[in-house]
Amino acid sequence: MSLIRLQKFLAEAGVCSRRAGEGLIRAGRVAVNGEVITQLGTKVDPNLDRIAVNGEPVAKVAKRVYIALNKPKGFVTSCSHPGEQVVLDLIDLPMRLFPIGRLDKDSIGLLLLTNDGRLHHQLSHPGFDHEKEYEVTLQRPISDAELRKMEQGVVLKGRKTRPAIVKRLSGRRFCIILQEGRNRQIRRMARLLGHQVSRLKRVRMANIRLGKLPPGAWRHLTGSEKADLLSALVDSPGKSNSCNR
């Protein structure tokens, strides 16, 4: 096998994301053949080198796991957050998983988790145009003109949001499809227009739908879901034409 960067090896082995791997390396918590490595860009041979994190050996290849979770309100999208319930508390599997992207503590719905570092990088990186679909409930009715503004994009911290797809569901409810994932984006867009979000639910991420998965429950992705997801990322499809629940 050819040499690969150490942080990429850690991600592909399911230890953490590439970015988190860089942090572990900088902190001196990763060793190769008994020598602590702090230099980013160091390359290793997974077949020959012995890699350890915090003194624990890292297996060359971890079984790839892909999970869909219906995140309930009140759980933090993190692997660890002192004093808070985190989404990993809901999943009783022995291997380390990490969430793809974020869903804020007050939001609910679909969250994907995996130990596949490559997929995590692809779905989390803002340069990939995968879609995320949400159902939004506001505290008061929203006008058609305001929905059009959300669809066309609004300026948040000096930068306009990308065009979205918006479909009214009722006076206070609408569906929105985004191809970006700025921090608390929907809540901030609504607030800019004078609205407060009372309920935010993600129902789709790329080709994976939440469906009827109960709150707090999780499931493994099917083989066809995994294949379609990877294919969709490679093909980088354009936007959908409408919200489909």
Q: In this structure, are residues 86 and 75 in contact, taking their beta carbons and an 8 Å threshold?
A: yes
Strand-pair category, 108-114 with 197-205: parallel
Q: In this structure, are residues 26 and 38 in contact, taking their beta carbons and an 8 Å threshold?
A: yes
Known active-site residue 104:
yes
Query: Residues 45, 89, 104, 228: which is the catalytic one?
Result: 104
User: What is the Cα–Cα distance from 120 to 122, expressed in whole angstroms?
Assistant: 6
DSSP assignment, residue 127? Answer: T
Which residues, in sequence order, are CB contacts of 67 under 8 Å at separation 6+?
91, 93, 97, 112, 113, 114, 218, 219, 220, 221
Torsion of CA 15, 18, 20, 26, to 10 degrees: 110
Which residues, in sequence order, are CB contacts of 204 under 8 Å at separation 6+?
110, 131, 132, 133, 210
Does residue 200 sit in helix, strand or coil? strand
Nearest CA-CA partner of 129 in 227, 205, 211, 184:
205
On the 0-12 / 13-18 / 19+ scale of CB atoms within 10 A, 173 is: middle
Q: Active-site positions? A: 104
